[in-house]
Amino acid sequence: MFLRQLKYLVCVSLALTISGGLFAQTTVKLATVAPEGSPWANELAKIKKKIESESQGQIKFKIYPGGQMGGENEILQQVIRGKLQGAGLTAGALANTVKELNVLEIPYLFDSYAQADCVLDDHLQEDFRKLFEAKGLIFVTWAENGYRSIGTKSAPVKTPEDLKGVKIRIQESPVHIAYWKQLGVSGIPIAIPEVLPSLQTGVVEGFDNTPLFTLAAEWQTAIKYFTLTRHIYQPAAILYSKKFWDTLNDDQKKTLMGEGNKLAPGARQAVRSIEKNMIATLKKADVVVYEPSKADLAGFKSAATAVSGQVVGKIGGQSKSIYDKIQKAKAACGG
């Protein structure tokens, strides 16, 4: 009897070894504040389809869009603790944990999309990969929110003077807080799911975000004006929980990461390709869109000059080193 049981256990062990463990089904719960139907949520849906297919159904994805798991900071903490296996989050939210990411949020840091791509992909990706992992996060790929601009309810914004004393919803980030303070704005940090009701009830009079996110979250229904200041280029990232990652075998990691870290190659281009259409859609929604002149933008850029000094070297970690690397990379990448 004992020999028969031993033989059975050996056979089972061999079968599991041959399979490489891949056939133990794994579920990945991945959250984002991006609304369903937005390019971000659509890109995550493509990732889900690709991974489930390549793993022959042994890796299952469950996507939670639209802030179902809370605001970005809440989602981030759940990923770090391993309660969620992954997330798509903006750099502004991630910077509360990976302090060096605050540097990427400095207003008017990048001159163009091409320059941002070159710096982040070709020069700093490995630096950030290590910084993410040290905080319990596994970097998959960059995505983006895009260039943030300003939406308001009661009056148009053409220069910084138009913002004096105005209550603006701001992102919970030291860089954002510092910039709005320089502009003389009453900044109020509010989580994404609460922004629309806060606009509707007058808790705030405006916000800053991209035209695409404004429409995706239906914030345009509560404003009358939108000014294309394009003051912050905001990348985002798709990440996994390191606690979850460390439980996986090599085959599972390879499938979840995607070949060459290009699991979502269209994540940024999908956002950029419809920017003009989103601006046109804002206009069709009776939102007055204002394109500032160079003279108008000079005031916004002037206010930004003090922010780097307030942030770089004061937020901890390797922020000074990262900032210096960005400046060197920008010179190599061009405009």
Q: What is the pLDDT of residues 277-292, one digit of tens each?
A: 999 999 999 999 999 9
Q: 234-249 burial, b if ≥16 CB within 10 A, otherwise e?
A: bbbbbbbbbbbbeebe
The parent domain of residue 258 ranges over 26-333
Domain count, the chain: 1
Query: Which residues have a Cβ under 8 Å from the Cβ of 297 and sit 6 or more positions away?
Result: 229
Q: Is residue 8 part of a domain?
A: no
Q: What is the pLDDT of residues 17-74, one digit of tens each?
A: 333 444 468 999 999 999 888 888 888 998 999 999 999 989 999 999 999 999 999 9
Q: Is residue 215 part of a domain?
A: yes
242 closest CA partner among 54, 64, 123, 80: 80
d(CA 42, CA 60): 17
Q: What is the pLDDT of residue 197?
A: 98
Report the predicted TM-score, pTM, of the whole model to 2 decimal places. 0.85
- Report whether pLDDT(76) > 90: yes
Q: What is the pLDDT of residues 92-112, one digit of tens each?
A: 889 989 999 999 999 999 999
* pLDDT band for position 174 (cuts 50, 70, 90): confident
Q: Are 103 and 262 in contact (CB under 8 A)?
A: no
d(CA 207, CA 284): 20
CATH number of the domain enclosing 96: 3.40.190.170
Q: What is the pLDDT of residue 24?
A: 66
Query: Coil, strand, or helix at residue 21?
Result: coil
- Report whether pLDDT(118) > 90: yes
Q: What is the pLDDT of residue 16?
A: 36
Q: Is residue 68 part of a domain?
A: yes
Q: Is residue 229 part of a domain?
A: yes
Q: What is the pLDDT of residues 281-334, one digit of tens each?
A: 999 999 999 999 999 999 999 999 989 888 887 888 899 999 999 999 999 998
Q: Are 141 and 263 in contact (CB under 8 A)?
A: yes
Question: Got the DSSP string for 99-157?
Answer: GGGGGGGSTT--S-HHHHHIIIIIISHHHHHHHHHHTTEEEEEEEEEEEEEEEESSS--
